[in-house]
Amino acid sequence: MITILLSIYFMTLSNVYGNGIRNNFGIDYLPPLNLDDTPLSLYVEFKPSMTKSNINEKKSLVFKLIDIDKNITYIPDFYNITILKSELNAKKVTENVFLNGSFISKNGTLILEFDSNERKNVKNDNHYGISRDLNEQQTISANENGIIHIDRLKLDSGMYRLKVNIALSNHTDLNKNVILKFDSNLSLGNIVEFVIDNNQDKKLTILSFNDKIVNYNYDQQSRKILFEIPFKYNMTRIEEGFIYIHMEIKIPETFNELFNAKEYLSTINNIDHDKISSTSVSVDRFSNSSNVMVHFILDSNSLFKLTKERQENTREGSEMTLRFSLQPKNII
- What does each C-alpha distance from 105 to 16, 64, 140, 294 come to in angstroms? 21, 10, 9, 43
Residues 228, 111, single domain; the answer is no
Last residue of a domain, one of 188, 211, 227: 188
Residues 160, 219, single domain; the answer is no
Amino acid at 82: T
Residues 219, 174, single domain; the answer is no
Q: What is the mean pLDDT of the chain?
A: 84
* Angstrom distance (rounded) from CA 223 to CA 258: 8
Is the pLDDT at 315 greater than 50? The verdict is yes
Residues 253, 276, single domain; the answer is yes
Residues 89, 176, single domain; the answer is yes
Last residue of a domain, one of 167, 188, 209: 188
Last residue of a domain, one of 169, 188, 207: 188
* Angstrom distance (rounded) from CA 227 to CA 203: 15
Residues 206, 169, single domain; the answer is no
Q: How many domains does the chain have?
A: 2
DSSP letters of 308-327?
Answer: HHHHHHS-TT---EEEEEEE
Residues 163, 211, single domain; the answer is no
Residues 85, 234, single domain; the answer is no
Residues 212, 176, single domain; the answer is no
Q: What is the reported pLDDT for 12?
A: 34
* Angstrom distance (rounded) from CA 55 to CA 131: 25
| Pick from 114-118, 153-157, 159-163, 194-198: least confident | 114-118
Query: Within 13 Å and on the Cβ side, how many CA atoms surround 200?
Result: 0
Ranges 18-32, 116-130, 244-258, most confident: 244-258
With bands split at pLDDT 50, 70 and 90, how would you rate the model's confidence at 271? very high
* Angstrom distance (rounded) from CA 8 to CA 153: 30
Q: What is the reported pLDDT for 121?
A: 47
Residues 216, 112, single domain; the answer is no
Q: What is the reported pLDDT for 27?
A: 83
| Pick from 18-22, 69-73, 79-83, 297-301: least confident | 18-22
Amino acid at 228: E
β strands within 105-223, DSSP E: 110-115, 127-129, 139-141, 147-151, 158-168, 178-196, 199-208, 214-219
Summarize pLDDT for 133-177 with one digit per residue, the tens.
Answer: 444 556 889 999 999 998 778 899 999 999 999 998 866 666 667
Residues 180, 293, single domain; the answer is no
pTM of the model as a whole: 0.85
* Angstrom distance (rounded) from CA 313 to CA 311: 6
Residues 41, 177, single domain; the answer is yes
Its domain, for residue 183, covers 2-188
